[in-house]
Amino acid sequence: MSLSSTLPSKVKLVDVGPRDGLQNEKQMVPAAVKIELVQRLQQAGLKEIEVTSFVSPKWVPQMADAAEVMAGITRQPGVRYSVLTPNLKGFEAALATRPDEIVVFGAASEAFSQRNINCSIAESIERFRPVVEAARANGIYVRSAISCAVGCPYEGEIAPERVEMVARLMKGIGVQHCGVADTIGVGTPIKVQRALDAALRHFAIDDISGHFHDTYGQALANTLASLQMGVWQFDTSVAGLGGCPYAKGATGNVSTEDVVYLLHGLGIETGIDLDRLVDAGQYVSDFLGRKPNSRVATALLNKRQSAG
Amino acid sequence: MSLSSTLPSKVKLVDVGPRDGLQNEKQMVPAAVKIELVQRLQQAGLKEIEVTSFVSPKWVPQMADAAEVMAGITRQPGVRYSVLTPNLKGFEAALATRPDEIVVFGAASEAFSQRNINCSIAESIERFRPVVEAARANGIYVRSAISCAVGCPYEGEIAPERVEMVARLMKGIGVQHCGVADTIGVGTPIKVQRALDAALRHFAIDDISGHFHDTYGQALANTLASLQMGVWQFDTSVAGLGGCPYAKGATGNVSTEDVVYLLHGLGIETGIDLDRLVDAGQYVSDFLGRKPNSRVATALLNKRQSAG
């Protein structure tokens, strides 16, 4: 089977580094650094950025500056800025900052849902109904993300039927987009295709995205398998922000750099300048006092060093 | 496009860690450690191991103990042991140690061939003719490996026509197997498929293997693309042994652990016990005083630590 005729010609990446990435970093990052990171990402050509989360600072201190960050970014035409809004209070705070999109989360694992938010999957999604209604009434696009869509740290493997159910419930409350997230990075290509197939029962291919973690190094293989289904939107995290593979309990978002290299190698347009992206990743990695968690960034930075 | 119906049901991995891996490690590894590594690899279920190289110790001091290592391993029925023999002198030394296979190398890049061995591609392959003849006269199977099959550190991208030429010349001197090696890890799936297609003009699918490096994190995506063409043999390196000599600090050979995780996740049989493989990788990594260069090994070792 030759790939060249079957892949999408363009792909849109959503950089989730400033939110999903930094939220999982222990070290507190000042608003000014987050704002500069967003700036560098859009200068590198990212057309959508998950900026922050309007969540209780008691639970997530790293996101306590959500409003400050949203107010501080210089918006570029053609770039979309999304934020997480776990409840109506969060949504109201977010609304004042004029996000283009909000994101709501539901797990495909009952055990995960119970342990994390102390309610069933169905209840957790029903709670988003007023948030989704308020967003849509305000003309704000609503994305959902299905976490643990392939595996769960408590339940193990997740059946595609669970993903289908979450997608159906999300569609039912008025959500417009469905992200399929392998939150713990255990997925391999066929399992990921099955999870995406399940979501496709309720969302069109243009309203689906993949969100992969590189914990087991499978994220690019999973991306390739998704592309072969026609999926053309992916969440990625600059410098692999959101967990170092050498730290216990690492989450390991796939790095934007690695995905861009794959896509460009496949002849797929992203609008992203890989060199500037590597710079953006180096900027935030320098702040965190470590190397970018990206093989492409590592290889290109080594190459620059040898050349220089 | 769904993958599940198109993939091979079984895959054979050749662990090249003891040779290709250790050869690129600066630290000298004693024969006893190499022998123990081979032992652990076969206990983990590897059915073919690239053990050593019969090359001048002046050029490659790490392989000076080739005969000692071959004499020291305890052979298991059903396991094949291969060695590199760059010339007739090397082959004669190897012959006394009874290898099942020998490996000869040719680059798909003229610049690489000139800079490394000071002759053209065609000349370099012609020089192997007496080696291949001697091997076949002794009933020893001959593999070839085409290095720089996708990219070259001096020439950049390599056209599939170069790979086709090397495969044709290798076939012409009586080689039985063709490995397609992305030596510097720059390949992406379509480019890799084109290189494999070129080799397939002269070798049957059962006589082809893929050899990928993870320098840019693309090895598993390239493996998936190869599987989709029906390729079912791959070189991998336990614990990701072997750096890339052309990119400082960059990672080299794809780790056997990461590939096994991918294959098992796809429902493909390998005969390999992943836990024992991780142990083998940890053994040699401990000796080298570092962590295994494998995301799967890292994730599984972290998991064991949390569980313990």
Residue B199 near residue B163 (C-beta atoms within 8 A): yes
The average confidence (pLDDT) of chain A is 94
pLDDT at residue B6 in the model: 84
What are the CA-CA distances from residue A89 to residues A106, B109, B244 (Å)? 18, 62, 52
Amino acid at A75: R
Nearest CA in chain B to A226: B1
Helix, strand or coil, per DSSP, at residue A269 = strand
Give the whole-angstrom CA distance, residue A155 versus residue A138.
38
Cα separation, B193 vs B218, in Å, equals 13
Q: Which residues contact B156 (CB under 8 A, 6 or more apart)?
A: none
Decide if B157 touches A, using CB distance below 8 A.
no
- Give the per-residue pLDDT at B24: 86
C-alpha span between A275 and A283 (Å, rounded): 12
The arithmetic mean of pLDDT across residues A137-165, rounded, is 97
**pLDDT tens figures, A178-199:** 999 999 999 999 999 999 999 9
Q: How far apart are CA B298 and CA B295, in angstroms?
A: 5
pLDDT at res. B203: 98
Q: Please report which confidence band the pLDDT of residue A125 belongs to, taking 50, 70 and 90 as the band edges.
A: very high
User: Following DSSP, what letter does each residue of B144-209 receive, concatenated?
Assistant: EEEETSSEETTTEE--HHHHHHHHHHHHHTT--EEEEEETTS---HHHHHHHHHHHHTTS-GGGEE
Q: CA A203, CA A172: separation in Å to the nearest integer?
A: 11
Tell me: the pLDDT tens digits for A227-281?
999 999 999 999 999 865 445 545 589 999 999 999 999 999 999 999 999 999 9
State the virtual CA torsion across A105, A110, A113, A115 in degrees, nearest 10: -160
Quote the Cα angle for A21-A23-A28, to 5°.
Answer: 110
- pLDDT tens, per residue, chain B with 308 residues: 567 778 999 999 999 999 999 998 888 999 999 999 999 999 999 999 999 999 999 999 999 999 999 999 999 999 999 999 999 999 999 999 999 999 999 999 999 999 988 999 999 999 999 999 999 999 999 999 999 999 999 999 999 999 999 999 999 999 999 999 999 999 999 999 999 999 999 999 999 999 999 999 999 999 999 999 999 999 999 999 986 444 454 468 999 999 999 999 999 999 999 999 999 999 999 999 989 999 999 999 998 988 87
3-state secondary structure of A233: strand
Residue A135 token pair: 């967003």
Residue A1 binned pLDDT confidence (cut-offs 50, 70, 90): low
Phi then psi for A119, rounded to 5 degrees? -155, 170
Tell the burial category of A43 from Cβ atoms under 10 Å away from its Cβ (0-12, 13-18, 19+). middle
Q: Show residues of chain A in contact with B215, CB under 8 Å.
A: 295, 299
Domain formed by A3-307, architecture: Alpha-Beta Barrel (3.20)
- A252 within 8 A of A272, measured Cβ to Cβ: no
8 Å CB contact of A302 and B214: no
Pairwise CB contact (< 8 Å): A216 & B261: yes
What backbone phi and psi angles, to 5 degrees, belong to A19? -105, -75
**SS3 sequence of B113-131:** HHHHHCCCHHHHHHCCHHH
Q: Give A 243-282 residues with CB within 8 A of chain B.
A: 245-246, 248-250, 252, 255, 258, 261-262, 264-267
Run of H or E including A81: strand A80-84
If pLDDT is split at 50, 70 and 90, which confidence band does A6 have? confident
Write out the two tokens for A55: 């969540």
User: What backbone torsions phi and psi does residue B236 show, to the nearest 5 degrees?
Assistant: -145, 170
Spatial contact of A276 and A40, defined as CB atoms under 8 Å apart = yes
Decide if pLDDT at A134 tops 90. yes
Q: Which of A37, A43, A32 is nearest to A20 (CA)?
A: A37
The 3-state secondary structure of B204-248 reads CHHHEEEEEECCCCCHHHHHHHHHCCCCCEEEEEHHHCCCCCCCC
Q: B63 CA to chain A: closest CA distance, Å? A: 27
Chain A partners within 8 Å of B225 (Cβ): 3, 224
The whole-number pLDDT of residue A251 equals: 59
Task: Considering only the beta carbons, identify the residue of A220, A249, A264 that sits closest to B220.
Answer: A220
| Closest CB to B249 among A185, A265, A302 | A302
Residue A3 pLDDT > 80: no
| Interfacial A residues in 159-188 facing B (CB < 8 Å) | 185, 187-188
B172 Cβ contact partners less than 8 Å away, ≥ 6 residues apart? none
Q: What does the pLDDT read at residue A245?
A: 46
pLDDT at position A2 over 80: no
Contacts of B223 in chain A (CB under 8 A): 221
Nearest to B127 by CA among B179, B89, B183, B97: B89
Contact predicate A222/A259, CB 8 Å:
no
**pLDDT for A258:** 98
- Are B82 and B103 spatial neighbours (Cβ–Cβ below 8 Å)? yes
pLDDT at A248: 53
Distance CA B84, CA B94 (A): 8
Instruction: Name the 3-class secondary structure at A104.
Output: strand
Is the pLDDT higher at A307 or at A7? Answer: A7
- Going by pLDDT thresholds of 50, 70 and 90, the confidence category of residue A306 is confident
pLDDT of residue A48: 98
Residues 6+ away with beta carbon under 8 Å from A250: A215, A243, A244, B299, B302
Surface of B (107-146) touching A: CB under 8 A: none
8 Å CB contact between A32 and A253: no
